Homo-oligomer: A and B are copies of this chain.
Amino acid sequence: MAEAAAAPAVRAAVGDSEFDRDTAVTRRGPGVYDIDLSAGWSILGAVNGGYLLAVLGRALGDALPHADPFTVSAHYLTASRPGPAVVRTETVRTGRTLSTGQASLFQYDDEGNEVERIRVLASYGDLDALPGDVRTSAEPPAIPPAEQCFGPEDGPDPLDGVSAITERLRLRLDPATLGWALGKPSGRGEMRAWFGLADGRDADPFSLLLAVDALPPTAFELGLKGWVPTVELTVHVRCRPAPGPLRVSITTRNLAGGFLEEDAEVWDSADRLVAQSRQLARVRLG
């Protein structure tokens, strides 16, 4: 078992937590869902892409005959803002073990016209129906125990006041990937952290969609400043996560031509690799 981060005194339950309330979609009609995007998951004024993916993921989990996201591919079109949005889903194919769906998240311009923010293609299944066979060669990331890692509460937060999401997460960053916060980026495209929700809610497949895109960008450790907008993000959920904190490791190997990839792995407290993701993001070279 991995060493756990300190838990809050009262833990929120899956289904009754900030994350559940803020990603809850209301069915307007067949395959169409309303949501009020929370300002609580913003980074530098933009709504976090992982939070948005969880919203779309919940809508598809309701619309499709299978409940669990297996692979979700999202193309980010325009920046989402806190406030009303509508998710329109389409069932593309229904199979015995996998179903495929599409979903788009829209917001409204000044004239009330819908503007598409994100489009997603996803295949869903039943994680509990998978065989228990594990023949992985992957190993959990070497992150120090949570009490040797650092969160926003440990010092002057470089994003203080502009990143509401930090209050909703329990992120404990590996000191080896924290050079950027001290003005000394390592030059390595790595970011590692313990990840939990601030109210102690355990992980589920939807919160994994958040976890893969919730750490500071690896670009910070490469000495780049400014935001790194996601063009495309694909997540594979490989296993239902066990209760307890997650470890997230993100790696960038190829920064070139003004783009980089971020590869994320998420490990649960039972040392299972529960999610893998890759995103293509733009960088602004100084």
Q: A residues near B, CB below 8 A?
A: 70-71, 73, 75, 77-78, 92-93, 98, 100, 102, 116, 119-123, 127, 130-138, 188-189, 222, 231-232, 234, 236, 238-239, 253-259, 261, 272-273, 276, 278, 280, 285
Contact B236 A133 (CB under 8 A): no
A123 contacts which chain B residues (CB < 8 A)?
Answer: 75, 231-232
CB contact under 8 A between A256 and B239, given known A77-B92, A116-B93, A278-B278 = yes
- Known contacts A77-B93, A100-B119, A261-B276; A70/B285 CB under 8 A: no
Question: Can you name 7 A-B pairs with beta carbons within 8 Å?
Answer: A75-B92, A78-B93, A92-B116, A121-B121, A134-B257, A137-B253, A239-B256
Q: State the CA gap A93–B122 with chains docked (Å).
A: 19
Count of chain copies: 2
Contact B231 A71 (CB under 8 A): yes
Asked whether, in the complex, the Cβ of A131 is within 8 Å of the Cβ of B238, the reply is no
Name A254's contact: one of B77, B258, B259, B276 (CB within 8 Å). B276
| A122 and B259 alpha carbons, distance in the complex (Å) | 16
CB of A241 to closest CB in B, whole Å: 13
Known contacts A92-B119, A116-B93, A238-B259; decide if A254 and B75 are in contact (CB<8 Å). Answer: no
**B77, B132, B222: which contacts A135 (Cβ < 8 A)?**
B222
Q: A110 CB to closest chain B CB, in angstroms?
A: 19
- Report the separation of the CA atoms of residues A120 and B238 in the bound assembly, to the nearest whole angstrom: 22
A93, closest chain B residue (CB): B77
CB distance from A221 to the nearest CB of B (A): 11
A280: which of B71, B231, B255 is its contact (CB, 8 Å)? B71
